[in-house]
Structure 1
C-alpha cells in the first residue's frame, strides 16, 4: 500500500509547533547552568518529507486511524534554540552547596549570565512511529524508540 502527502502545507505554518516544543522543553527541570527558558526561536521542517513505510494498520474508520510506520528522515530541517546560561561554573557549583561549606570567594561567587543560541541542523532520524488520529482527540504521534541518529 502506498500513499502520497503534500509536504508544503505542513511546512508553511510552524508557529504552533514551535510553541508546543518550547512548552515541552520547559516542563522538566533544567540543569543549574541554564538560567532561563529554552525557546524554540526558529523551526524549519525542510523541503523534503520523511520516508514512511507502513508496518501495520490497526484501526481504520471514518473518524479514527491507528498505524505503525517505519520512518527515516535525512532532509534539511533545522531548529534554533535560545536561552541564557550561567557562564561562571564556580557560581553554579556553589549554588548547590550549603552556605557553611562554601569557600569565601567574593568575585567568583557572582553570577555571569550570557545569551546562548544554538542551531541544530543536518538532523538524521530513523525509528518506529505510532500515529493515532481521532476526530475527537486529534493527532498523537509517539516514537517507539529513540529516533535520533545524528545532528550538527
Structure 2
C-alpha cells in the first residue's frame, strides 16, 4: 500500500523536524484509502511515531462513520487537530451538523488539541466565518 509506505518513509523526517505529519480521514468518494478514523489509524499507526497523527474532519466523518461519538472515543489519543466542517462542506453553521453535540463529544473524551474551521465559501468569506463563530462560540465559551 503506497500511502502506508509513504507514511513510513516520512515519519523519520517528521520526527527529525519535530513536525506533525497529519493523515486526514477522507471519504470514499475522494480517496481510495483511509475513509474512517479506524482505516486511517491502521495506516498512520504503522509508523509508531509520536509525530504521526490522524486528522478527523466532520464533513468526512458524517459520510463514513457509523458513530461519530464512537470513532472520536476510540481514537481520542490518535489526533491533536480536528477539522470542523458542515455536511454541506460549508463552514460550521451553514448545514445540518450539530456542532454543539460534536464539541460535547470532544469534551467528553478530554480533547485539548486544536480545532480548525474549514469549508467552501457560500456567501462571502467574512460572512461565512461570522456565521461559523455564531454557531461555535456558545459551545466553546469557557464555563
- Give TM-score, length-normalised by structure 2: 0.22
| Greater helix share, structure number | 2
- Give TM-score, length-normalised by structure 1: 0.21
Larger Rg: 1
| Greater strand share, structure number | 1
Specify which structure has the bigger relative contact order, considering alpha-carbon pairs within 8 angstroms and separated by 6 or more residues: 1
